[in-house]
Chain A
Amino acid sequence: MSESAPEQTLRVDAYPTHEVGGYRVRAGKPFPFGANVVPGGVSFSVFSDQATSMTLVIYRRGEPEPMAELEFPQEFRTGSVFAMTVFGLDHENIEYGYRADGPYDPVTGHRFDARQVLSDPYARLIAGRDVWGVEPDRSRGYQYRSRVCLQDFDWGDDTPLGIPAEDLVVYETHVRGFTRHPSSGVTAPGTFAGLREKIPYLKELGINCIELLPVFEFDESDNPRTNPETGEQLFDYWGYNTVSFFAPKAGYAATGRYGMQGDEFRTLIKDLHAAGIEVILDVVFNHTAEGNEQGPTISFKGLDNATYYMLTPEGYYFNFSGTGNTVNCNHPVVRNYVLDCLRHWVADYHIDGFRFDLAAILGRSADGTPLPNPPLLELLAYDPVLRHTKLIAEAWDAGGLYEVGNFPAYGRWAEWNGKYRDTVRSFLKGDPGITGELATRVAGSPDLYSSRGTSASVNFLTAHDGFSLADLVSYNDKHNEANGEGNNDGGNDNASWNCGAEGPTDDPEVNALRLRQMKNALGILFTSQGIPMLLSGDEVARTQQGNNNAYCQDNELSWFDWDQVDQNAELLRFTREMIAFRKHHRELRSTAHPTGQLRDSLGLPDISWHGERAWQPDWSPDSRLLAVARCGTGDDDVVYVAMNSHWEAHDLELPALPGGRTWHLFADTGAEAPYDIRTPGAELELENAGKYLIGPRSVVILVGRTPDAEL
């Protein structure tokens, strides 16, 4: 058999049967939905349950007025699907949309308006916001234009990495923010290509999974506000307002102006995989950019409003998302849409997993009632294509549904563990009476995930939403004035502590304490059972100047300042070594919750709790000190982590070690650099084997091993 590409096979369906509007056409295939290049033309397929007629609108690329409007013949309709193949189209140089005619009766949920040109919900490319931040021409009637593309990217031998969930170290970042700062030094700042140039940094940091804030096409210019202090335009910087679910954001691609954002994003993913880094996408299926009845009609509203959105009996939009509308996720058509979308990202972009924004909404019925067995969540959990992807829920919504620990998991779903964040933050700032819950959280939250294992818990202290780590230890209160909402936006319950001064200070003691507190946070995070997630920039003390809701700030407030890599090298080194330490010690990544069961090989339990006295943890309301020792099966070492949020030092009595093992110091956040942390395997043997003085507000990490052991 020849290895060359075969000559094109002649097909009967490569010939037109009808003529519509001067174009040769034939009935298309209902599936797959969207626009697909077929022999001789392009096949268009779109669903609308209540439309009485459907018209395909075709534009020459970039032209304001259509070059053709082709109404689907009735015989091209199968069920509620309109499908037509149009021959002779240059797929690279057209944009398309639909006009759907039907009833306009908001009370019954229908908002058809044939004057509107609608985006294809299955469009794999969108034109109209090709370059980030360019002021759009709003006089054009059709803003977000569907485009046709080939899906023939050459992946070579790229396959999903399949890193076990318990081994993940997640790094949450923003595609643009990661390299947009002038200090980044990349060829194309703020783009997929720019991020690709920073893969060596990520690899050196030691993370093995990158979680990207939304990359589905959104409109960064849909924020009407300005900064009241400077008058500068504010953006929708984070992008939690999806315009088109199958299309990567063109403005995140250096080649977006050429319509090559798909290939650029795939190339980034391919290279991340080659570096051993998985890619998780933050996805937003709880609402769309169409808002409520006052919002724009982009796609779903005009195609089948009553199908896609949760509506009140009066025809208004339920607002469990806090953004105007709520996607009717458990409607059979809509859940298939979500499934098709995720399959597309896994099959066509090799995405390794998804984090679902306000995922509690995905468990609500059409009237908003939480379902005991939500079909969408079950569908995603068992789908053959998604079978090995990571599924992570933000297990709450803006409607008050809070499901952390109770999210319908089907053995597959992990959760952002908000209780871990809140508990560790409270402990770090010195709140009393937290040690009991702290123990539960660092042990993988068995109270929440007893049947699901530790990897159901994504542990984090900071995320895009809220304070950065540096701000968590620098501000008591949020400072969101620049967002233009009178400091009323953003959360008020931050469990932060400024270490003695609000914001930047020259006080060396305050700055030293802040640095120590950041190390304490990282020390606890990376020795906790569960999946650790690090917010991009926390490793170099990135600040947002106290803004805990920087969703609209496309400027240095949000961007990763690469000069801080050198300026905060001490914290970066600490972070790298902590990540390396976690990789070194399997007992920190155990999928099973510890039970206190004795490890025969060491004569110690898998987990034990200690205080100032070995084996005597202090659970009293005033206690601010807790130490945990872990032993893993098959591991020849013990890891001891002492966490002191008290403002005084404490003498620790260390538990005795069996078999000639001795305690070695890996990290002490109370020590000056470079003695604050060591390289795993090069820990310093303690001179006074049974004792260690832990300083005020410090974390100490010890390894119990034989002095000559080579790890």
Chain B
Amino acid sequence: MTLNVKERRNKAGTVLVATGEINSETSGSLLQTLLPLVREGRPLRIDLTAVSYVSSAGLRTLLVVYREAQHAGVAVTLYGVSEEVRFVMSATGFLDFFSAGEAEAAAAKAAAKASATPRAAR
């Protein structure tokens, strides 16, 4: 499955809306899209509302982006994390790397959303 990304800019910062799956096939291009945005220095929100699955490579990509943002002093927020993706992020420890506020925001968002149907074994 592919990944589509759309960029929106407003006064508060940049919003990147992702649609599809973040996996080893798509995470490379996502990284190439995100790193320049981080380097711009504007607050960045990654909207994952329409992302159904984040693979191991995808989680690592998000973490790399987050690390780059930390070094650059740029705020990166994950938004609209589905319950299933959030659970995977939590179980594998990736959620711990994002600041508490963001994790809580992701959790609150997940709780507010309808429960995602877990995917069948892949």
Contacts and interface: CB of A to CB of B under 8 A. Distances in A.
Given A92-B23, A92-B56, A154-B63, A267 B91 contact: yes
A257 B122 contact: yes
Nearest to B88: A255
Q: In this complex, which of A91, A92, A149 has the most chain B Cβ atoms within 10 angstroms of its Cβ?
A: A92
Contacts of A4: 68, 71-72
Given A90-B24, A130-B121, A254 B87 contact: yes
B111 to A, nearest CB: 13
Contacts of B42: none
B93 interface: yes
A92 B57 contact: yes
Given A255-B92, A267-B91, A149 B56 contact: yes
Q: In this complex, which of B53, B63, B90 has the most chain A Cβ atoms within 10 angstroms of its Cβ?
A: B90
Interface in A120-155: 130-131, 134, 149-150, 152-154
B57 to A, nearest CB: 5
Contact of A154 (B25, B88, B91, B97): B97
A131 B121 contact: yes
A254 B91 CA distance: 8
Interface in A91-140: 91-93, 130-131, 134
B122 A62 contact: yes
B121 A260 contact: no
B56 A260 contact: yes
A187 B67 CA distance: 29
Interface in A228-271: 253-255, 257-260, 263-264, 266-267, 270
A258 B53 CA distance: 10
B92 A260 contact: yes
B60 interface: yes
B122 A61 contact: yes
> Chain B, interface size: which category?
20 to 34
A334 B85 CA distance: 41
B55 interface: yes
B24 A91 contact: yes
Nearest to B57: A92
A92 B93 CA distance: 19
Contact of A258 (B64, B71, B96, B122): B122
Interface string A188-214: 100111001000000000000000000
Interface residues of A, number: 35
A3 interface: yes
B91 A260 contact: yes
Contacts of A257: 119, 121-122
B60 A152 contact: yes
B115 to A, nearest CB: 12
Contacts of B96: 267
A8 B25 CA distance: 19
A5 B91 contact: no
A258 B56 contact: yes
Nearest to B68: A4
A263 B67 CA distance: 18
Interface in B77-92: 87-88, 90-92
A196 B57 CA distance: 23
Contacts of B68: 4-5
A4 B57 CA distance: 19
B93 A253 contact: no
B85 to A, nearest CB: 10
A135 to B, nearest CB: 12
Contact of B91 (A134, A153, A264): A264
Contacts of B93: 153-154, 263-264, 266-267, 270
A150 B55 contact: no
Contact of A264 (B25, B92, B97, B121): B92
Interface in B4-27: 23-25
Contacts of B97: 154
B24 A188 contact: no
A255 B53 CA distance: 12
A187 B64 CA distance: 28
Q: In this complex, which of A253, A255, A266 has the most chain B Cβ atoms within 10 angstroms of its Cβ?
A: A255
Nearest to A134: B121
A62 B121 CA distance: 10
A201 B44 CA distance: 39
A192 B87 CA distance: 13
A193 B96 CA distance: 14
B24 A263 contact: no
A253 B56 CA distance: 14
Nearest to B23: A92
A134 B25 CA distance: 28
B3 to A, nearest CB: 14
Contacts of A90: 24-25
Interface string B101-120: 00000000000000000010
Contacts of B88: 255, 258, 260
Contacts of A191: 91
A444 to B, nearest CB: 39
B39 to A, nearest CB: 9
B45 to A, nearest CB: 21
A91 B56 CA distance: 11
Contacts of A134: 121
Interface string B28-63: 000000000000000000000000010111011001
Nearest to A155: B93
Contacts of B67: 5
Nearest to A187: B87
A171 B97 CA distance: 29
Nearest to B70: A3
Contacts of A258: 53, 55-56, 88, 122
Q: In this complex, which of B64, B88, B91, B92 has the most chain A Cβ atoms within 10 angstroms of its Cβ?
A: B91
Nearest to A3: B71
A152 B92 CA distance: 13
A254 B25 CA distance: 23
Contacts of A149: 56
A92 B24 contact: yes
B55 to A, nearest CB: 6
Nearest to B72: A4
Given A154-B63, A187-B87, 10 more contacts: A5-B68, A150-B56, A150-B57, A150-B60, A191-B91, A254-B91, A258-B56, A259-B55, A260-B88, A264-B93
**6 closest Cβ contacts across the A-B interface?**
A267-B93, A92-B24, A263-B92, A193-B91, A257-B121, A3-B71
Interface of A: 3-5, 61-62, 90-93, 130-131, 134, 149-150, 152-154, 187-188, 191-193, 196, 253-255, 257-260, 263-264, 266-267, 270
21 contacts: A4-B68, A4-B72, A92-B55, A92-B56, A93-B23, A93-B24, A93-B25, A154-B93, A188-B87, A191-B91, A192-B91, A193-B91, A196-B91, A254-B87, A257-B119, A258-B55, A258-B122, A260-B56, A260-B88, A264-B92, A267-B92
